[in-house]
Amino acid sequence: MFFSKDLPSPTSFFTAYASMAGYMMMIRSMAHQLIPGPVQDFIYSSLHSLLFRSTSTTLTLTIDDDNMGMHNEIYQAAQTYLSTKISPEAARLRISKGHRDKHVNLYLSDGETVNDVYQNVELKWRFVTDRGDKKGDDDVRSEYFELSFDKKHKDLILNSYIPHVETKAKEIRDERRILMLHSLNSLRWESVILEHPSTFKTIAMEDELKRDVMEDLDRFIRRKDYYKKVGKAWKRGYLLYGPPGTGKSSLVAAMANYLKFDVYDLQLASVMRDSDLRRLLLATRNRSILVIEDIDCAVDFPNRLEQQQPGEGKNCGDSQAPLTLSGLLNFIDGLWSSCGDERIIIFTTNHKDRLDPALLRPGRMDMHIYMGHCTFQGFKTLASNYLGLNDTTMPHRLYTNIERLMDGEVITPAQVAEELMKSEDADVALEGLVNVLEKMRFKANELSPVLKKKESRLERDEMRARPDTEGSPRKNSKRIKKLVLFWT
């Protein structure tokens, strides 16, 4: 075998390799002795990343449920959002149904993927179940989502797509949400499903008033950042007042159905102390409506204060203080009002004039809604609900007569509804309503002159007997009204 004179011989190759290996072992031994271990690791990792840098352009985000001991809102939003994106070709899915759910819910199972597109950017979701290193231990496991996309879209995904997922998940939860009605039982909230059918479409109110209420609710819901900016608690107060049977409770249900808010029915007569009231109100959830019906007669705050003897309770502490108006006001717009977001507080009353002015000022009751007697427009809504009559067809022959008879404060929506329910035949039901309206109108016209004469005589007698003191005309006027009401 012949070798070219220009090439080194095999012996020279082996000699050079042996010499290099010896030098490398000597340098390595010196490096271990002279260079600290952490520095060696840093140099090694730097060289490795420089020489073997990954060429992948995909970024994967891991989203798990644990967020330092609390639930991760992004995980929950992703689970809800992806439940509507599941492909028909999915091989394995999880299924669940709570006692409040009307339908079953489908979720991704281990290894299943969902493809999504956002602003022309392709994304891939994958659900992973990691059971840990212990085989056979089903309790030690973690579940998480992996979201993969091109690295160059990182800012778009974090700043736009993730908020988009959260918003969509909130809309889906609102659609699926089962409303609950909470009531007191031994100073604890007990819940039942709220299935009241009242909506703004079916309630007997003037169209303009409906629009005002709905616009006010919409404005409140979308102004979270505004309330924070101006330094106000994110809450809204409504006072519903008017005669009995005018639809105050139905309006509360319509508001709850419109907003998808739970309702807390607070009976103040069952609460004896401010501390109990505070504990109950702190136990209410966000996105809820707190209702105190008939606030004017639910509890007599002055009497309760008068019952406390001087010096009584001074050593008992705040927890033994009786229920007071100031305690209620403190939660409505005091320091405790900031404990919770997206809250609505509603008071109802048949007698607005009996309420303490402190309850009525803006910031506590922001919008006062008068629920009066049934108008012709309200009647048409009820006729559509109960008898299927609507404005798209020719008006019923009795509509003109009904409109004339309903002019003024004659009949309440509840009384109209009672008459319309007596027959499914529109002619029979409306004729019955006309008869009732004629009787009410005749009775009102018959009593009106008598009442006016009686009131005039009582007022004259009271004015003669009135002492000439400041403020007495107002007191006498109230006394006259009470006497007239008693006589009627």
Q: Do 170 and 253 meet the contact criterion of CB atoms below 8 Å apart? A: no
- Residue 425 above 60 pLDDT? yes
Domain 180-300+324-370: assigned CATH number: 3.40.50.300
Strands 288-292 and 262-265 come out as: parallel
The confidence band for 438, taking pLDDT boundaries of 50, 70 and 90, is: very high
pTM exceeding 0.85:
no
Average pLDDT over residues 366-394: 90
CB contact at 8 A, 369 and 263? no
Percent above pLDDT 70 for the chain:
74
Residue 187 pLDDT level (bands cut at 50, 70, 90): confident
pLDDT at 337 over 80: no
Whole-angstrom distance, CA of residue 170 vs CA of residue 260: 11
Residue 292 backbone phi and psi in degrees, to 5: -120, 105
Q: Rounded to whole angstroms, how far apart are CA atoms 90 and 76?
A: 21
Tell me the pLDDT tens digit for each residue of 54-94.
566 889 999 988 776 667 889 989 998 998 888 888 888 88
Lowest average pLDDT, out of 132-136, 200-204, 471-475, goes to: 471-475
Distance CA 217, CA 389 (A): 29
In whole angstroms, what is the distance from residue 118 CA to residue 188 CA? Answer: 46
Tokens of 12: 């020279």
pLDDT of residue 479 exceeding 50 = no
- Stretch among 202-216, 295-309, 418-432 having the lowest mean pLDDT: 295-309
Residue 112 half-sphere exposure toward CB, CA atoms < 13 A: 20
pLDDT, average across residues 278-304: 80
CB 287 within 8 A of CB 261: yes
pLDDT beyond 90 at 398: yes
Q: What is the mean pLDDT of residues 188-199?
A: 90
- The DSSP call for residue 273 is B
Is the torsion defined by CA of 257, 259, 260, 261 positive or negative?
negative
The candidate with the shortest Cα–Cα distance to 120, out of 77, 149, 89, 88, is 149
Helix 207-221 vs helix 248-259: crossing angle, to nearest 10: 40
Burial readout 16-31 (b: 16 or more C-beta within 10 A, e: otherwise)? eeeeeeeeeeeeeeee
Q: Using CA atoms, how far apart are residues 329 and 428, in angstroms rounded to an integer?
A: 50
For residue 21, the model assigns a pLDDT of 72
User: Distance of CA 441 to CAs 219, 450, 486, Å?
Assistant: 41, 15, 21
pLDDT of residue 185: 86
Average pLDDT, the chain: 80
Average pLDDT over residues 442-447: 77
> Of 140-154, 303-317, 400-414, which range is least confident?
303-317
Between 337 and 332, name the one with better pLDDT.
Answer: 332
Rounded mean pLDDT, 94-118: 82
pLDDT band, very low/low/confident/very high, at 211 (cuts 50, 70, 90)? very high
Q: Where are the domains of the chain?
A: 58-176, 180-300+324-370, 376-458
Residues 275, 318 contacting (CB under 8 angstroms) = yes
Contact assessment for residue 111 and residue 128, using Cβ atoms and an 8 Å cutoff: yes
Q: What is the pLDDT of residue 305?
A: 41
293 vs 16, residue with greater confidence: 293
pLDDT number for residue 301: 60
Q: pLDDT grade, residue 103 (50/70/90)? A: confident
Cα(243)–Cα(138) distance, integer angstroms? 62
DSSP annotation of 309 reads P
Report residue 285 as tokens.
Answer: 């959830």
Is the confidence at residue 472, as pLDDT, over 60?
Answer: no
Quick one: pLDDT at residue 7? 58
Cβ neighbours of residue 461 closer than 8 Å, sequence gap 6 or more: none
Question: Which among 239, 345, 333 is positioned nearest to 288, based on CA atoms?
Answer: 345
Q: Look up residue 370 and give its two tokens.
A: 């008068």
Written as six digits, the tokens of 16 are: 């050079």
From CA 230, how far away is CA 228, in angstroms rounded? 6
Which tops the pLDDT comparison, 104 or 159? Answer: 159
Q: Bigger pLDDT: 50 or 42?
A: 42
DSSP helix/strand/coil, 8: coil
Q: Is the pLDDT of residue 461 over 50?
A: yes
Can you tell me which residue has the tokens 């502490």?
A: 317
Burial group, residue 408, by CB count within 10 angstroms (0-12, 13-18, 19+)? exposed
| Of 456 and 164, the one with more pLDDT | 164
Ramachandran angles phi, psi of 431, nearest 5°: -65, -40
Strands 235-241 and 343-349 come out as: parallel
pLDDT at 36: 72
Q: Which pLDDT does position 303 carry in this prediction?
A: 43
Radius of gyration of the chain (CA): 37
pLDDT value at residue 18: 72
Q: How confident is the model at residue 146, as a pLDDT?
A: 93
Instruction: Give the least confident one: 220-224, 334-338, 383-387.
Output: 334-338
